Structure 1
Amino acid sequence: MFDLSSLGIGYGSLLMLMSMIVLLLTGMQLAFVTCLVALVFAVGWFGVAALPLIASRLYSFVGGYVFLAVPMFVLMAALLDRSGIARDLFDAMKVFGRKLRGGVAVQTLLVAIVLASMSGVIGGETVLLGILALPQMLRLGYNRKLAIGTTCAGGALGTMLPPSIVLIIYGLTASVSIGDLFKASFVPALLLAASYIVYVLVISCLHPEYAPLPTEEELAADADVNYFKALLFPLLTVITVLGSIYTGIASVTESSALGVVGIMISAAIRGELNFSMLKDSAKATMSTCGMIIWIGIGATALVGVYNLMGGIDFVESTILALSGGSVMGTVLIMMLILLVLGMFLDWVGVALLTMPIFVPIISGLGLDPIWFGVVFCLNMQVSFLSPPFGPAAFYLKSVAPKDISLGEIFSSLLPFIALQVLVLASVIFFPQLALWWK
């Protein structure tokens, strides 16, 4: 077999990248692409003696105790999808939409914040809001782009607000405290959500025709909502999950289990818990977690082989050379790389492929990896909405009215992408926004 080590790390890195691009273009899944490339380069660069080293890295990845939090939070989201909790929460939040121009859009964002604080998964939240909020705003005569953008951007907030699955995966990859990541992301997440709300209120004020006020008949219909029933269970779940983490009563893994129990008890009291609901939720959880684990296995193997090849030193020297040795220039180059990768790869793959390389560089520059985790998460927020493969847009398209095209969804998201970039830049240049608690 050809000795790949004779290429040197520069040409070897280029060959590895091109191999991945070619295989991805064939339609092969990212998990299998990374596994295959890792295997070929391990044997071609070091020989078969390197294979046990890869196996040991895989075991350390899948054996992490905190990794148990991922299926628990995904299960919470699946149970929420199949219960009426989110629907009642949206109805109860109508109190915020009364006699306020743009109020239903603000109500949608407030519901998105509560749902994000309960599960931390974007897919379910975007679909739920697409079913509950989008048709109502369109029926009330809201501007189509404002309604679509608010629904889609709000649904994606789950990746930023604790307990975010993105932050959990980053914490596992970067070997930093997930609890600290949750604390650090709290202010930037609220800043992002607040920027959405301010934008909606300002655009509604400047263009009153974008957000008509509800009629007297619609206001009267809101009086039938049982606010106690609608708000009690979601708020109890949020307090249980986040309160137990922030107070130190429970770890992230333990709080995720508490959250699942809380949602199940809530569904049981509401008379919605049954075997069919549990079976469907379990199947959805296994499907999502299976994808995450397989991508993690492939990415861990690939990064392990690349590290053995001397890849971290090569990437560090290349980025520092491009940035001229500037710390901020290095961070901005990393942000650009993440933005480009996020347009084409799933966030799990981006995190597991890049963070083992980027985080040591960040630490070596004297920067806080907790802060970088929040910056990474904000960067992924942009990729969730950005064309051509922004997943939030595809989730919304799956439940949106048939006359709403994918192109219209992406064009509606442009103002929200601009707000994301603004908040991302703010946290980069003012790290204390993420490190306020230290």
Structure 2
Amino acid sequence: MSDDVAAEKLDITDELIAERRAGRPGETPDDMRAWMRPIVYVVDNLNLWAGRIICLLMLPLILAIVYEVFSRNMFAILSQNGMSETAIAWGFGPTLWVYDVSRMLGGVLFMAAAGYALMRGVHIRADFLYRGWSHKTQATVDATLYMALYIPAMLFFTWVSAEYWLKAFLTGEQASDSTWAPILWPARLAMPVGAFLLLLQGFPELFRALHQMGEKRAQKFIRFLPVYAVILAIVTAGVFFPDVVPLGDFWNGIFGEGQSVSKPTIGLIMLAVMLFAIFLGFPISFTLIFLGFVFGTWGANFKLATFLMTLQTNSVMLSDQLVAVPLFIFMGIVMEQAGLMERLFQAVQMMMSRTRGSLFIAVLFVSTIFAAATGIVGASVTILGIMAARTMNKSGYNVRLAAGTITAGGTLGILIPPSIMLIVMGPVLEVPVTDLFRAAIVPGVMLAFLYLVYALGRCWLDPDMGPILSVEDQPETSRFYLLEVVLVMASLIFLIWLITRGITDGFGFPLGALVVPLAWIGAMYLAYTVLDRARPGGFYFAPLWYEFFMGLVPPTVLIAFALGSILAGWATPAEASACGAFGAVLLSVLYRKFTIPGLYDALIKSLEITVLIMFLVAASNFFGAVFSNLGTPKMLTELLLSLDMSPVLVLILIMALIFLLGWPLEWVPIVL
């Protein structure tokens, strides 16, 4: 790995978004057709500014939820101390509006910015076959699928979502699942707007594919465009106005109820076509939407398909649990920007420098801490690889074991709470997210421990795999280094106990869960300062411990309170994620890393990952609703039950399937 790459230059989202377009929005090759270039420029920049504006909604989302948590808990604290009237006079107490405003803002974030995400190239595709093709073949497949799948799907989606919004606007529809009962049309407007921006963005993507495939192939596509436009117009008219054009009756005759093929069989065909289309390398979410429309119409009718589309998209937009997704992502990115990962890695590396495999220990320790901070898979892989590569190479570490340790550590973010995957799985499996968090803590830590045991075991069997760092690379410490280690570890264990005790009973006084651990942190810092100056008997804490604490304690305390508040029932995942995001910004200020451009960069990166995940959730829910309506899941369930397999065998088969799907697919489509 190149030595001239600075860790601070890295993008924490690169590991999740492998296909991000590097060029500037609206940038076109000089030899692209003249009539295409202005269209690409205008549409790209339209979606660029949409994304730039929409990402700012994350700030009022964070502030609103933090205000709710602060106001509610201040009311509870004052009331417990006989100051209820004072709390009411100061305006403290639960709010009626934050719940609805927060989930609406969360829905608008991913829906209205979907076109921006396509422009940036961040929608997931299963490209394990696609990336092996030539550029011309890739472009030909892309152009074909944009015309056959994407444009019709987005045209239908725009139309039906506009009707859905118009109905809410004309009737003044209000939320029926909240006390505040706000009108829904302002937030629901994001659905047709986002779909329309997606439809528009399809044309620049099509034009780029036409240019890349070469002049001879592109000419054939361009000649077909007028015919394609006429066919698309006729099909659209036949779908939405079947009484106006003759094709409407023909469409209903083919894709109406009463077909000779049974619904479960249609579902099996739908599943097979879905796998084939996904493996062609087209973005998965758009493939699912198109197939949902087609097979929903074939198996039932177009009206039911449109109902399921709008219902499932609206359900994701108004999910209070999924609001936590962008906020936990934002928290992790801001903490990475504060430089905490670099400080912690260097400190652990120096702390364990007299141990074989010390760099493996540092990589896995930092991966575990920041897995809980980022909540996504692979968020630390590139940064740790850059930071560790130079020292590992210099110290003679085994390259294969080093690469395996870094990549394995990067996968911990998908399991250790607050994992984004678990937040997405909760609504899908209809299981409380808090239960998933509780269930994942021990396996996540155990997996990290097993990685560590394996790496150190290999170093013990073959010392050349992870030799002790050279004397010049080892830090200066006092002659009582073992005592330093014992005191520091004991202090950390006691801090963890204080945090756990505070979460469970709060130490019996207001804000005790916060005050007591912070007081102990202050005492540790004071002891470090006093001993460093006095050095009684030559004992002092080495400078590496300061870096260790500055890299470990702040993110650990922040993560502990965010996760602990969820598990203790003090806050919902959305509330904990908002408080964690707010705390991460405060940390960046305290570490003097906060800048307005840096904050904006974190917002836009968080938006990209959020759209990547949430839009695929909505598309998968629509596809799954159609698939379920066809009765295929019931048929498959009955078939499996008839085989009389043991639960263990079923679990093994499921795990084997997940293992195989992990080769071509990201975790998001596997979960959904």
TM-score range, shorter chain: 0.7 to 0.9
Aligned residue among 114, 123, 142 for 2:378: 123
Number of matched pairs: 351
Match of 1:231 in 2: 552
Matched, 1:349 2:654: no
- The secondary structure found in structure 2 opposite 1:324 is coil
1:52 to 268, 284, 307: 307
Residues 255-313 of structure 1: CA deviation (Å, up to 9, x unaligned)? 11111111111110111100111111111111111111221121111100011100221
SS at match of 1:248: coil
Instruction: Tell me, yes or no, if the aligned pair for 2:379 and 2:413 is still in contact at 8 Å.
Output: no
Match of 2:604 in 1: 283
Q: Out of 289-298 and 327-336, give the one that drifted further.
A: 327-336
1:150 counterpart residue number = 405
Higher alpha-carbon deviation: 343-352 or 328-337: 328-337
State the alpha-carbon separation in 2 of the partners of residues 305 and 55 from structure 1.
12
- Offset of residue 9 of structure 1: 4.2
Match of residue 93, structure 1, among 345, 348, 351: 348
Partner residue of 2:289 out of 32, 35, 48: 35
Q: 2:568 aligned with 1:247, yes or no?
A: yes
Contact map agreement 1:204 1:211 (CA 8 A) in 2? yes
Name the amino acid aligned to 1:17: L
Paired residues of 1:240 and 1:258 also in contact (CA < 8 A): no
The CA deviation string for residues 139-171 of structure 1, in whole angstroms up to 9 with x for no partner, is 221100111000110011011101111111111
> Which of 272, 295, 300 is the matching residue for 1:18?
272
158-167 or 125-134: bigger deviation:
125-134
The reply to whether residue 261 of structure 1 matches residue 582 of structure 2 is: yes
Cα distance in 2 between the residues matched to 1:221 and 1:72: 40
Note the 1:281-360 alignment, pairs <5 A: 281-321=602-642, 323-352=643-672
Written as runs of structure 1 = structure 2, the 5 A alignment for 1:108-119 is 108-119=363-374
Instruction: Please list the CA deviations of residues 342-386 of structure 1 after superposition, one character each: whole Å capped at 9, or x if unmatched.
Output: 22222111111xxxxxxxxxxxxxxxxxxxxxxxxxxxxxxxxxx
Give, in whole Å, the separation in 2 of the partners of 1:139 and 1:171. 45
Say if 1:27 and 1:41 are closer, same or farther in 2 by CA, change over 3 A: same
Q: SS of 2:374's equivalent?
A: coil
1:193 alignment partner AA: A
Deviation at residue 194 of structure 1 after TM alignment: 1.0
By how many angstroms is 1:52 displaced?
Answer: 1.4
Distance 1:336 1:232, change over 3 A: closer
Query: Contact conserved, 1:81 with 1:128, CA < 8 A, in 2?
Result: no
Shift of 1:107: 1.6
One-letter amino acid of the structure 1 residue matched with residue 267 of structure 2? S
Higher helix proportion: 1
> Structure 1 residue 182 and structure 2 residue 437: aligned?
yes
Letter of the 2:260 partner, please give it.
Answer: S
Asked if the contact 1:81/1:124 (under 8 Å) is kept, the reply is no
TM-fit CA distance, 1:238: 2.0
Deviation at 1:42, TM superposition (A): 1.0
Aligned residues with identical type, % of pairs:
28
The separation in 2 between residues aligned to 1:135 and 1:257, in whole angstroms, is 37
How far apart, in 2, do the equivalents of 1:302 and 1:193 lie?
A: 35
Residue in 2 that maps onto 1:67? 322
Letter in 2 for 1:335: M
- Structure 1 stretch displaced more, 157-166 or 46-55: 46-55
- Give the Cα–Cα distance (whole angstroms) in 1 for the partners of residues 660 and 323 of structure 2: 30
Structure 2: tracts of 5 or more residues without a match? 1-250, 478-541
**Structure 2 CA distance for partners of 1:95 and 1:238, relative to 1, 3 Å:** farther
TM-score (normalizing by structure 1): 0.76
Tell me the C-alpha RMSD between the 2 structures: 1.9
Q: Please give the alpha-carbon distance, in whole angstroms, between the structure 2 residues aligned to 1:170 and 1:156.
A: 17
Counting only pairs closer than 5 Å after superposition, residues 391-410 of structure 1 correspond to structure 2 as none
